[in-house]
C-alpha cells in the first residue's frame, strides 16, 4: 500500500511541476489565437494594421499545437532534470557540511580570557579551515571550493567580549568561512 501511495504522491508532484512550468501552453490551448484576434483585436485596429497582421495571425494559429508541444516538452525535460538532481543529492555531503558548520559556530562562541586560549583558538581555526578545505576539494565540485574560500571584505562584526584586536580579527575571519559553509548547505547548486 505504501509503495502505491509514494508512487501517486511522486507522480502528482511531477505533474504539478510540469503544469506550473508550462502555464503558457495552457493559455495557448484555452485561447484560440485566430478567434481572439478576430473578435477583439481586429475590431479596434485600423484596416492598414489588419491587412498587415492577418498573415501573421493565420500562420500563428496553424502552429499553436506545435508551440504547446514544445513548451510542455521543455517543462517535462526540465522537471526530469530537477528530479534527477534531487534523487542523486548525496546526504553525506549535507551531514558533513553541517558538522563543519557546527564546529565553526562553536569556535565563534568560545569564551577567550587569555592569550593561551587565543593561541588554541587560532590553531583550532587553522585546523578546521584546512580540514574543511580538503574535504570540500575531495567531495564536491571545484566551484564549491572557490565559494568556500571566497573571502568577502565586510565591515568588522563586533562579537561582544573580545580579548584584543587579534581576537576580533580571528573571529571575523572564522565568521566569514562560517557563512560560506552555510551557503554551501543551503543552496543545492553548490552540491
Enumerate the domain spans of the chain. Answer: 2-87, 91-190
pLDDT value, residue 61: 65
- For 113, phi then psi, to 5°, come to -120, -10
Segment 54-76, tens digit of pLDDT: 777 667 667 777 777 788 888 88
Give the per-residue pLDDT at 42: 67
| pLDDT recorded at residue 157 | 60
- The pLDDT of residue 30: 65
Q: What is the model's pLDDT at position 5? A: 65
- The pTM of the full predicted model, rounded to 2 decimals, is 0.54
Bin 152: left if φ > 0, else alpha if -120 < ψ < 50, else beta.
beta
What CA–CA distances, in Å, run from 118 to 95, 167, 177? Answer: 29, 7, 18
* DSSP conformational letter for 8: H
Q: Taking the CB of residue 147, how many other CB atoms lie within 10 A of it? A: 18
Length of the chain: 191
Cell numbers 489565437: residue? 33
Contacts 24+ apart (CB under 8 A), 75-82: 75/17, 75/18, 75/19, 75/21, 75/22, 75/25, 76/18, 78/21, 79/14, 79/17, 79/18, 79/21, 82/17
Map residue 113 onto helix, strand or coil: coil
Predicted local distance difference test score (pLDDT) of residue 107: 92
Distance CA 188, CA 37 (A): 44
Tell me, what DSSP letter sits at residue 1?
Answer: -
In the chain, which stretches have pLDDT less than 50? 1
pLDDT computed for residue 122 by the predictor? 94
Amino acid at each position: 500500500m505504501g509503495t502505491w501511495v509514494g508512487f501517486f504522491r511522486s507522480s502528482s508532484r511531477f505533474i504539478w511541476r510540469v503544469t506550473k512550468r508550462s502555464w503558457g501552453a495552457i493559455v495557448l490551448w484555452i485561447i484560440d489565437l485566430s478567434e481572439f484576434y478576430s473578435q477583439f483585436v481586429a475590431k479596434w485596429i485600423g484596416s492598414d494594421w489588419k491587412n498587415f497582421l492577418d498573415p501573421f495571425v493565420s500562420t500563428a494559429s496553424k502552429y499553436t499545437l506545435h508551440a504547446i508541444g514544445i513548451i510542455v516538452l521543455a517543462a517535462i525535460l526540465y522537471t526530469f532534470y530537477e528530479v534527477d538532481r534531487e534523487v542523486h543529492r548525496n546526504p553525506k555531503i549535507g551531514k558533513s557540511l553541517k558538522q563543519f558548520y557546527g564546529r565553526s559556530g562553536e569556535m565563534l562562541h568560545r569564551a577567550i580570557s587569555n592569550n593561551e586560549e587565543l593561541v588554541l583558538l587560532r590553531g583550532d581555526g587553522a585546523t578546521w579551515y584546512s580540514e574543511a578545505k580538503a574535504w570540500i576539494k575531495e567531495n564536491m565540485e571545484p566551484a564549491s571550493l572557490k565559494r568556500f574560500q571566497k573571502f568577502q571584505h565586510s565591515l568588522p562584526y563586533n562579537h561582544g567580549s573580545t580579548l584584543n584586536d587579534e581576537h576580533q580579527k580571528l573571529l571575523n575571519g572564522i565568521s566569514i568561512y562560517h557563512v560560506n559553509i552555510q551557503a554551501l548547505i543551503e543552496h543545492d547548486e553548490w552540491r
